[in-house]
Structure 1
Amino acid sequence: MLPQYERLGDSGSGVADQTGRSAIRIRFGKLAVITVMFPVLGFLFCVVWSLLYNFDQANSTHCLVYNFLPSLSAAIGNYQPQRFVWQFSVLVHAPPRYAIAFLYKNFHVGLLRKRRKELAYLACILNITELSSLVGLTMWTSIDNYEVHKFCFTTFVIASMSYMIILIIINRATRELDILSASEKKSIKYKKRLFVANLCSILLAVYFFIRHNTYCERGVYSLFALSEYVYVYSNIGFHMTAYWDFISANLYFDWRNGIHFSSI
């Protein structure tokens, strides 16, 4: 659905503007769905294309045993057009993600008690660090520059897990204030489940990776790859819970005031 044009001074717009100038309004829920679809569909395309057209190369390892799923790095970074599709998906979805990081910061600062507001700033820093690391490891693959890719990947894992933990702590603090809506409570529930899935998947990935390199068993590297897939999608799902946190919010594009959010 196309963005809606509306006068900022109109009743029900949620934003007062005495000049009567028009602005573009987009429901945050629509923006969240569109944003998350880029990495979701981009990653799915990379895996399916690798299976159809690069099966032998993408599943090949030093053990020379049969595998049926390509690893994350093989699916998104080693071949074309997969590499281009993934880079495009990440770069297009990054600007809205940066904006949402600051939206969360302002939202949490407004909710938390004064002695806990530093958690909101910490969460924002971790969120931005996670996203910047994702952009870095996407643009510099292990083939192009292994050291930069390794640094970005390590930073991404640490920052993303830390961000999830801090956000769960913040949600617990706001729950104590008993000011959460039904949609925000739903968001907290799914955040916890997706964090557990994310943590278990990364631990399983480490286990299968070590087992593959130690014993060279058939299919074990594919189980490692499957764990990576769960890690990717649980991370995406965690960020997608912003849909419920800001379900009543609008995003306004205004030439004079720039971009801003407002709740109905």
Structure 2
Amino acid sequence: MPLAIVEKFIDREKWTGNLKSRVPRPNNHEVLLQSSIRPVSVVAGLFPVFGLMFVVVYGYVFQAERLSTYLRATKCPNITSRLPPISYPMGIWQPQKFIWLLFIIMHVPPRVFYGITYTRFFLRSDSKFTNTWWYRFFIFAYPWVTLLEMISLIMVTVIDQESCFQVHASSCAAFVIMFCSNVFVHAVLHWASGFKNKSRLANALAYFKAGCFVSSFTLAMIMLVTYPYYKRTCSEEAYLTFAIAEYMFVIHNAAFHFTSYFDFPKVKIGLFVDFTEFNEDNSTEKKGARRESLEKNIAPYGYEKQPGN
């Protein structure tokens, strides 16, 4: 029964056909904005790292006294660590919170392209796995886990622990879960779609993404164990382990999303206006003929076939 439900709601052929039929032809659309996807990858992947670096460096340079006393004001005054939990400087302390919000504002819009670009890319695969129920399920799940990861990141940033600790903690947990799910689904699709066989670099990235899932999941388990242990026992070792795992998790997140810089070296994204409806006969027969002609000229992974190939 579950397999039948998946097959009913996840129709790869329908999705792929729709996607291909939306590819515009040069004579019928006007490009308003076009860019390589690499600048988008830099903004989406590296801006959180830049924000993290600013938050940490500013705290150690201009807020040394606060770093030495912030934990003593809690229920664990015996902890003398000067490494703050990542949520303190990013979500509470000023001006770090303001600067971090600016980086997030610039970081989030490019992230929207991740789910769209990779989903379309994986849909165009001609791998032997593309007709299996689990591949269709992963295709269905991928844009959702990407979106939920982004939403949970926004909530962690906007709702700090002083405003509402329960919501902040739940958002942190959701962000960790969604990122690990995102990496897992993405890594499986990268392998199953045959993407890893495109080049030596793509093959290396497949192993990197698989390793990123293993390490991110390990860090998530470390945080899950050490945080409640630190709160219960006020162990400085447990606190340091948790804090370091937090920072490493953020770096893993940025490194994973930056891989699109290498996945799509020649892919462009753009904003265009399609004038097909005004310039051509739109009868059912004409639409079918145009769609069939267009699909014949689309190679796997969405690249247009070159003349003579």
Scaled to the shorter chain, the TM-score interval is 0.7 to 0.9
C-alpha distance in 2 between matches for 1:220 and 1:178: 39
- Conservation of the 8 A alpha-carbon contact between 2:46 and 2:254: no
- Displacement of 1:193 in angstroms is 2.0
- Structure 1 portions without partners, runs of 5+: 1-13
Equivalent position amino acid for 1:114 in 2: N
- Conservation of the 8 A alpha-carbon contact between 1:195 and 1:238: no
Aligned twin of 1:230: 248
Aligned twin of 2:281: none
- Conservation of the 8 A alpha-carbon contact between 2:44 and 2:257: no
1:216 and 2:234 are equivalent in the alignment: yes
Moved more, 162-171 or 51-60: 51-60
1:156 and 2:175 are equivalent in the alignment: yes
Equivalent position amino acid for 2:67 in 1: F
Cα RMSD (Å)? 2.6
- Conservation of the 8 A alpha-carbon contact between 2:196 and 2:203: no
Choose which of 47, 64, 67 in structure 1 pairs with 2:56. Answer: 47
Aligned twin of 2:184: 165
- Conservation of the 8 A alpha-carbon contact between 1:123 and 1:167: yes
Choose which of 70, 84, 92 in structure 1 pairs with 2:106. Answer: 92
- Write the mapping of 1:61-100 to structure 2, written as runs, cut at 5 A: 61-64=74-77, 65-100=79-114
C-alpha distance in 2 between matches for 1:162 and 1:246: 22
- Per-residue CA distance 1:37-83 (angstroms, 9 max, x = gap): 32111111112222231312444442112102100111211211111
Equivalent position amino acid for 1:202 in 2: A
C-alpha distance in 2 between matches for 1:263 and 1:79: 48
Equivalent position amino acid for 1:33 in 2: V
Equivalent position amino acid for 2:220 in 1: I
Aligned twin of 2:290: none
C-alpha distance in 1 between matches for 2:178 and 2:112: 15
C-alpha distance in 1 between matches for 2:223 and 2:197: 38
- Displacement of 1:104 in angstroms is 1.1
- Per-residue CA distance 1:102-134 (angstroms, 9 max, x = gap): 111111111151332231121111111111111
Percent of aligned pairs with the same residue? Answer: 22
Q: How many residues align?
A: 246
- Per-residue CA distance 1:221-245 (angstroms, 9 max, x = gap): 2332111000111112112112222
- Conservation of the 8 A alpha-carbon contact between 1:67 and 1:219: no
C-alpha distance in 2 between matches for 1:20 and 1:94: 28
Equivalent position SS for 1:18: helix
| Distance of aligned partners of 1:222 and 1:103 in 2 relative to their CA distance in 1, 3 Å threshold | same
C-alpha distance in 1 between matches for 2:153 and 2:139: 21
Equivalent position amino acid for 1:227 in 2: A
- Displacement of 1:263 in angstroms is 5.6
For normalisation by structure 2, the TM-score amounts to 0.71
C-alpha distance in 2 between matches for 1:21 and 1:192: 40
| Distance of aligned partners of 1:109 and 1:217 in 2 relative to their CA distance in 1, 3 Å threshold | same
Choose which of 145, 150, 155 in structure 2 pairs with 1:131. Answer: 150
- Structure 2 portions without partners, runs of 5+: 1-22, 275-301, 305-309
For normalisation by structure 1, the TM-score amounts to 0.82
C-alpha distance in 1 between matches for 2:234 and 2:165: 24
C-alpha distance in 2 between matches for 1:91 and 1:32: 15
